[in-house]
């Protein structure tokens, strides 16, 4: 049985050093990236973006919609999403077709909500060309809390819910092939440690820290994505890509004192949400990204491609390379979200 893969002090310091350096110098390393990624005409693709009412998700969905894509905003706040679509419609260049946007409810803290979305979309038997799993949380400084499903909330929102949604939408993604799944990840996974048989960190004997929980959830997402990319058939035309969009000014500091929140938003080296969306849009639309994913798969490479905010391939944390632990995590993930062991094969059969 696998034991907890904790980092040694030297490994933890090395990971922290990398994260700090990436944060401080990300603007320098991404200086070649244009302020806005040039998107092709997207009149035909159908795209689903989770967490599309704020931050990176908002700017990602907006850019795709204004480029002509049929965009499904999968969100908790239906009214906020509809208001955003109205604002985007007002920004639409004169003479261009109306935006093709719709809103569907999704609460990642509820597996019932995830299943309802997946089943509702699948009932329409429409193709899906792109799924962007962007929704995520980082409850900085807060105590450990669990969802009504009994799962630690970082692990559920950042890993378990996206995993469940992705599997439920595989039939639609197969119909839309060539298609891709983009997992919005974080370099914070370098600090992550996961115990596959205790993803919820219950009774682990360790003091709970929100940073550790967030890092663990992002590591779990990478490990699951690696195996999903390996298990999807080459001829199926579905690829999985992970991306770290950079350190972005977001709502993670909202639980901190107002003075610290103000100082946080003034940090010049952090990306804006629009800047953070650039690498997500690149992974979602650039042909070379899917080509790279398929080359890796043809070579038997065990990992899904991982891109950074500089639009280049990045290496993942060594913890993510442990295939034995990844397989255990895969099994526990399916158990927690109540999916059968043959869910991939069944989903792809349903697409026919």
Give tens-digit pLDDT for 76-112.
999 999 999 999 999 998 888 999 999 999 999 999 9
- Please list, in sequence order, all residues whose beta carbon lies within 8 angstroms of the beta carbon of residue 221, skipping any fewer than 6 positions away: 158, 159, 162, 163, 183, 185, 189, 242
Distance CA 206, CA 202 (A): 9
Residue 1 located in a structural domain: no
Residue 24 located in a structural domain: yes
Q: Mind listing the pLDDT tens digit for each residue in 195-207?
A: 998 888 776 667 8
193 phi/psi in degrees, rounded to 5: -135, 135
331: CATH: 3.40.50.720
What are the angstrom distances between the C-alpha of 72 and each of 228, 237, 244? 23, 21, 22
Number of compact structural domains in the chain: 1
Residue 117 located in a structural domain: yes
Q: Please tell me which residue in 190, 214, 264, 306 is annotated as part of the active site.
A: 214
pLDDT, averaged across the chain: 92
Give the rounded percent of residues in the chain with a pLDDT score beyond 70: 93
Residue 3 located in a structural domain: no
Residue 4 located in a structural domain: no
Pairing of strands 46-50, 70-75: parallel
- Give the domain range for residue 153: 9-350
Query: Which residue from 146, 235, 239 is spatially nearest to 199, judged by alpha carbons?
Result: 146
What are the angstrom distances between the C-alpha of 167 and each of 74, 100, 109, 115, 117? 16, 25, 17, 10, 12
Mark whether 214 is an active-site residue.
yes
Q: Mind listing the pLDDT tens digit for each residue in 262-318?
A: 766 778 899 999 999 999 999 999 999 999 999 988 888 889 999 999 999 999 999
Residue located via tokens 């409810």: 105
Asked if 106 and 117 touch (Cβ cutoff 8 Å), the reply is yes
- Supply the pLDDT for residue 5: 60
Count how many Cα atoms sit within 13 Å of the Cα of residue 77 in the half-sphere of its side chain: 12
Residue 305 located in a structural domain: yes
Q: Mind listing the pLDDT tens digit for each residue in 132-176?
A: 999 999 988 788 999 999 999 999 999 999 999 999 999 999 999
Asked if 307 and 289 touch (Cβ cutoff 8 Å), the reply is yes
């Amino acid at each position: 049985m696998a034991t907890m893969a904790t980092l040694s002090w030297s490994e933890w310091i090395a990971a922290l050093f990398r994260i700090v350096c990436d944060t401080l110098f990300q603007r320098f390393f991404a200086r070649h990236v244009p302020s806005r990624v040039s998107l092709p005409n997207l009149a035909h693709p159908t795209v689903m973006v989770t967490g599309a009412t704020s931050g990176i998700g908002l700017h990602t969905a907006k850019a795709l919609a204004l480029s002509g894509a049929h965009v499904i905003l999968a969100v908790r706040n239906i009214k906020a999403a509809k208001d955003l679509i109205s604002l985007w419609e007002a920004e639409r260049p004169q003479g261009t077709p109306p935006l093709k946007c719709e809103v569907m409810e999704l609460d990642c803290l509820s597996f019932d909500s995830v299943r309802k979305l997946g089943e509702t979309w699948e009932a329409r038997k429409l193709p899906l060309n792109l799924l962007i799993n962007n929704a995520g949380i980082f409850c900085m400084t807060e105590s450990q809390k669990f969802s009504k499903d009994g799962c630690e909330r970082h692990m559920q929102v950042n890993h378990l819910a996206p995993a469940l949604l992705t599997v439920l939408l595989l039939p639609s993604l197969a119909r839309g092939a060539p298609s891709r799944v983009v997992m919005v990840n974080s370099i914070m996974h370098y600090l992550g440690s996961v115990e596959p048989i205790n993803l919820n960190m219950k009774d682990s004997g360790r003091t709970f820290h929100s940073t550790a929980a967030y890092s663990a959830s992002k590591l779990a997402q990478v490990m699951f994505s690696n195996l999903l990319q390996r298990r999807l058939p080459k001829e199926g035309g579905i690829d999985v890509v992970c991306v770290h969009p950079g350190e972005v000014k977001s709502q993670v500091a909202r639980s901190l004192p107002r003075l610290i929140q103000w100082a946080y938003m003034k940090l010049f080296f952090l990306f804006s949400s629009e800047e953070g969306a650039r690498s997500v849009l690149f992974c979602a639309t650039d042909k070379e990204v899917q080509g790279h994913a398929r080359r890796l798969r043809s070579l038997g490479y065990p990992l899904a491609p991982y891109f950074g905010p500089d639009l280049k391939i990045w290496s993942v944390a060594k913890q993510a390379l442990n295939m034995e632990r990844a397989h255990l995590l895969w099994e526990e993930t399916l158990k927690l979200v109540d999916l059968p062991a043959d869910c991939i094969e069944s989903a792809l059969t349903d697409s026919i």
